[in-house]
Structure 1
């Protein structure tokens, strides 16, 4: 028998949303920093011994074929941004651009990987990417296509594009290249960095969220992000607090009935997706919004797309359900 009052409150939903993801994200970031410090130490040791100065564990420049594309580009893009250079032997501008890309890939020491694709030998890949002319440079991040530029560019412009790509990969997808800096650690630095103390402002935001002070938590997380725009914990915490605030006072049965009665009612679909997510039905929430994006236009489409991106933040960029939903979103958008 169902209880007469099916209304959900934020206190009950905090367990369903799994706020431990905030802490896990911070720990993952700390481990990544420690791993980078260790790789830097190994790189310095390897260089001193006359070995590989980078120590990434995978080649920084690789020739890719149709047989190796899935592993070297798609799968690798979950670890590091993969820059794809489309070229051909007969292409003069390619011979100017490719050495620049190769040199920068080595210089960036694992923050990107360069995948070189000969369009004559791999015509199917070129067709799938919609290549109209070469040289053409694109990137794949977390399985998502990121167009960069077409035609030859000088090194300064290429460097700016790659810096922006790395920033987007870190902030939007949570992907940081696994290579070291290629140099030795600072004098006196430990290879295994000590665990950083928790930021007091971030701790206060977490406490507000735990108390159910959603307005206070939202403001506190925003304060942290103003000072630290790339703070993963604060970004996830803000997304979760906003989600919990949106569903306060919503009646589960009424929201779902309204969404089922009118699939074109974007507001109803957004509310239903929020409740799907906090109820643990993550794939249902994503699927609902992807479908809404696919059948709407203009402001309605933007509203559904942006809500979907907000829910991605709640779950976290490394979750395979987020990766699958990103791919589904790309299909309906393009």
Structure 2
């Protein structure tokens, strides 16, 4: 986090002017406007609803969690952020942004890797941290954020309006094999989760949720226990070692460095003789599925793969 002792900390390089359609934020020292009660201290935000978040940040600091469904570290960090924000009882609000579904916000915040956590204070961006960090560090950063907000006149809070809170939808029960996979994932037993998803796909090859879950849990299983620095050293020492390159690509993808992961596999594919390329192509297609076929990074990488094939 930038220096919390100065209003200059609010003048970052991120330009949110194109996303703004509300009045300018309150000046430092000005009494904050009263914010209406919110349905929840944790909210999902889109490109379209973001102007309301900018306005809310005139009263209370808003923490922005930039994440994606395929990002393992995001799923580790998000519950920590939600827990700490909830404990602060309205002094902070958490706005969650799915970068795949909201490209305008991802571009505005320059989200080159996720999870990425920033804040808004008086409508101005404040960088906080990247990656899944320990809960103690999250608490420390949020304490500094509250100090910075106070120094810039943002000292309000919001209350949760129980009447405005949407009713929780009743979700249908999971199919037995999906439920078994979720239970195994929660227990950290990735091989059992993989087996459950594979059985589900054997029963129904068109089960898209099982296919997506299988890809995600396979990635989690592969990166479990890997040391990034050791993996990078091994890959650098053996540029055509398929497993060494796969390990770094998996770690990059799990850490949100999607283009780095694709680029590494494509470079490996280009270096190998044609008879050794099949497993590399299969792994690349698997990574494409994890990110999503409509993602522009996938479309670019598919084009590069096609050029190497033909």
Give TM class, smaller chain. 0.3 to 0.5
Larger radius of gyration: 1
TM-score (norm 1): 0.41
Larger RCO (alpha carbons 8 Å, 6+ apart): 1
TM-score (norm 2): 0.44
